[in-house]
Amino acid sequence: QTPEAQDQRPEASAWYSNSKGFLVGTAVGVTLSGLFNPMDRALYLSVVEHRPFLSPLNFASPWEGFREAVVVRTVTGGLFFPLFETFLGIVTSCHQWICRDAGSGSRPLACATLAGQLTGVTIGVVMNPIN
């Protein structure tokens, strides 16, 4: 078979979709870590030190803990899309009576909601020891 014909196999398409989702999720995780680390740190310090959130002392070293935040957010973001697609396929196949296509090829909100909840729970369980 030619490489083009091999790419048409369902396994190749699923692998491409999951790897693309992982890469997008990883990029989102790194970006969010950079954007939100100063606020995350300030919120943490305001709770631990019992002082107002906007106190200048909370923003004295905004990038402390950045490395840990990058790891957690990157892994979380990278796992989300592949897990969501996996759970969406499982939920759709298990609950045909709830998740019937509306004729347009889109899945109803109930399936996406349940798949999203299962994804969130799974990521929470996996990431809890790291957090």
Instruction: Determine, yes or no, domain membership for 1.
Output: no
Instruction: Determine, yes or no, domain membership for 30.
Output: yes
DSSP state letters, 16-42:
HHHHHHHHHHHHHHHHHHHHHHHHHHH
pLDDT of residue 120: 95
Q: Show the tokens assigned to 8.
A: 């048409």
Residues 16-45: what's their mean pLDDT? Answer: 84
Whether 8 shows a pLDDT value over 80: the answer reads no
Residues 19-35: what's their mean pLDDT? Answer: 82
Residues 44-69: what's their mean pLDDT? Answer: 92
pLDDT tens column, 79-94: 888 899 999 988 888 7
Q: How many of the other CB atoms lie within 10 Å of CB of 125?
A: 9
Instruction: Determine, yes or no, domain membership for 6.
Output: no
Overall domain count for the chain? 1
Instruction: Determine, yes or no, domain membership for 26.
Output: yes
Instruction: Determine, yes or no, domain membership for 3.
Output: no
pLDDT of residue 9: 59
Average pLDDT in the chain: 81
| Model confidence, pTM | 0.62
Helices (H) and strands (E) in the chain, counts: 4, 0
Residue 81: which residues within 8 A CB-CB, separation 6 or more? Answer: 18, 20, 21, 22, 24, 25
Domain range for 112? 12-127
Instruction: Determine, yes or no, domain membership for 47.
Output: yes
